Amino acid sequence: MRDNGDETPWHDRELETGIEEAKQALAAIEQRYDRLRQTLVAHEELERQEERLQRQVRKNSSPELRRQLQAARDRLQALESDLEALFSVWEPFWFAVRFGGLGVILGWVLKSCSS
């Protein structure tokens, strides 16, 4: 079955559209993954900074060091909130990918078998 005089069968266009959508979804996943990786690296660096500042505060408990330690802890807490938000976004996404993708694949298989 063809429509609008196009030489490409409708199921080929549908497949091409599905592939383009998958590419876009993959690009979005890569962007989220990069953001997650950058946030994890920043978190690790802040944890090391916090440990270093704690050691310095134990040796010399100056008000300036305590302010720096508190600022590091505040930034660390903000990053942990960001990480939590990033991970919570992934759960429904993977659920949709797992079951939605399976439905699309089964639909394509059934459609190709019936043709």
Q: What pLDDT digit, counting tens, does each position of 55-76 carry?
A: 998 898 889 988 998 999 999 9
Are 93 and 108 within 8 A, CB to CB?
no
- Residue range 71-115, pLDDT digits in tens: 999 999 998 888 887 776 656 666 666 666 666 776 777 777 776
Neighbours of 73 (CB within 10 A): 15
Are 43 and 79 within 8 A, CB to CB?
yes
Is the pLDDT confidence value at 38 over 80?
Answer: yes
Q: Residue 2's pLDDT band (boundaries 50, 70, 90)? A: very low
pTM: 0.57
Tokens of 85: 């938000």
Mean pLDDT to the nearest integer, 3-24: 75
Q: What is the mean pLDDT of the chain?
A: 80
The amino acid occupying position 3 is: D
Is the pLDDT confidence value at 48 over 80?
Answer: yes
Is the pLDDT confidence value at 1 over 50?
Answer: no
